[in-house]
Amino acid sequence: MVVHIDEKSVTLAAITAAARDLAGQGGVLRSPMLRSEPLSRRFGADILMKMEVLQPMGAFKLRGASHAIARLTDTEAGRGVVCCSTGNHGRAVAHAARARGIAATVCLSALVPPAKVDAVAALGARVLRHGDSQDDAQREASRLVATEGLTEIPPFDHPDVIAGQGTIGLELLADRPDLGAILVPLSGGGLLAGIAVAVKALKPSVRVIGLSMDRGAAMAASLGAGRPVAVPEVATLADSLGGGIGLANRWTFALCRDLVDDVILLSEAEIYDGMRWMLMQERIVVEGAAAVGAAALLAGKVRPEGPTAIIVSGQNVAMKQVLAVARGLPVTLGGMTVEGTGCAI
Ligand SMILES: *Cc1c(COP(=O)(O)O)cnc(C)c1O
């Protein structure tokens, strides 16, 4: 594959600089990558878990949010920051803003689970519930930029956010230069684009694959259409993967289009299996969005041919849901009931 990366776009150099910046700040963990014994045995290849669940705030989002907030001028920071979020970005922004001593406002739609809303509020951020979709929350954030002069920290479509998430790609190859494939949860594509920029620059032969739920996967639909499109947002076990990519998307759509090898969609039942596998076999609590790597392997939708990394992206999930999945009981979400596929776990 020949890759032409726009000079003005996110570069390996920007990601290397982000890694230096984050190491210097000390707030973000250089997370370990653990070999999954049960998955490696089952698939006859090394399956490696990048443990972003161990990050402060329970998700990788602190990388992008910390880097973007660190790069604000004093004037920009002094106005206070605002973001919209499916939960984890808001929590990361609230935490990073507090660390810099600035005010944060987080706009969340009604689809964001209460556990995530409470966690953002507990960090001292102003929380605004707005509308029924991530797009509604985005409109509210844009309105506050216009009316209150706040500085926006977007959840994915921003070069500093993408560079921050891309530091994961550097760590993956530093730890396992022999990696053959990387399975990345995909929503707005900041995580996938950042990892893809780093990895394709350092080792283009590594397959970089995005994973989304099969209902409301905005980036997958946009890549299919050849331009950013809107899709209806619906309740999903992978609530962190909901929301649009923005019809005026500037960065992540083009990077994913140019650099990503494949995007694979998973059913709710398959995501349930992934969560149950992570709990029962790995003894790791994950939210649905972070279970898609295990889910894609278990569903036979990705066949590992060499060392394969899965990004275990976050663990901010209501304990009630964890307990239901551990017991193998159905989970009710927005009027729909989800169960596993019955695959052996
Ligand atoms: C935000 C998030 C994702 C998806 O990241 P994008 O950059 O929006 O694609 C995946 N997993 C978790 C846990 C997240 O919080």
Same-domain check for residues 54 and 78: no
Query: 8: pLDDT confidence band, cut at 50, 70 and 90?
Result: low
In a domain, 117, yes or no: yes
Same-domain check for residues 185 and 119: no
Catalytic residue among 31, 36, 50, 61: 61
Residue 48 and residue 308 in contact, taking contact as beta carbons nearer than 8 Å: yes
Same-domain check for residues 240 and 124: no
Same-domain check for residues 295 and 252: yes
* Number of other CB atoms surrounding residue 305 within 10 Å: 12
Mean pLDDT of 18-44: 97
Judge whether 200 counts as a catalytic residue.
Answer: no
Dist. CA 60 → ligand 1 center (Å): 8
Mean pLDDT of 165-184: 98
The verdict on pTM exceeding 0.75 is yes
- Which pLDDT does position 134 carry in this prediction? 87
Residue 255 and residue 186 in contact, taking contact as beta carbons nearer than 8 Å: no
Torsion angle of the four alpha carbons 93, 236, 318, 283, in this order, in degrees rounded to the nearest 10:
-100
Dist. CA 191 → ligand 1 center (Å): 6
Same-domain check for residues 72 and 142: yes
Write the pLDDT tens digit of every residue in 37-72: 999 999 999 999 999 999 999 999 999 999 999 999
* Full domain range(s) for residue 145: 61-152
Write the pLDDT tens digit of every residue in 136-149: 999 999 999 999 99
**Beta strand residue intervals within the chain, DSSP E:** 33-35, 47-51, 81-85, 104-108, 126-129, 151-152, 181-185, 207-213, 262-266, 308-312, 331-333, 336-338
In a domain, 130, yes or no: yes
Same-domain check for residues 285 and 302: yes
Number of domains in the chain: 2
Share of the chain above pLDDT 70, in %: 98
* Number of other CB atoms surrounding residue 320 within 10 Å: 11
Same-domain check for residues 226 and 313: yes
CA-nearest residue for atom 2, ligand 1, is 240
Q: Say whether 51 sits in a helix, a strand or coil.
A: strand
Average pLDDT, rounded, for the chain: 95
Same-domain check for residues 279 and 135: no
Same-domain check for residues 169 and 264: yes
Question: Among 100-104, 150-154, 244-248, 333-337, where is mean pLDDT lowest?
Answer: 333-337
Same-domain check for residues 47 and 26: yes
Dist. CA 278 → ligand 1 center (Å): 18
Query: 133: pLDDT confidence band, cut at 50, 70 and 90?
Result: confident
Judge whether 50 counts as a catalytic residue.
Answer: no
Same-domain check for residues 50 and 72: no
Same-domain check for residues 244 and 185: yes
Out of 237, 241, 255, 284, mutate this one to test ligand 1's pocket (max ligand atoms within 8 Å of CB): namely: 241
In a domain, 257, yes or no: yes
Ligand 1 neighbours by CB, cut-off 6 Å = 59, 61, 88, 156, 185-192, 240-241, 287, 289-290, 313-314
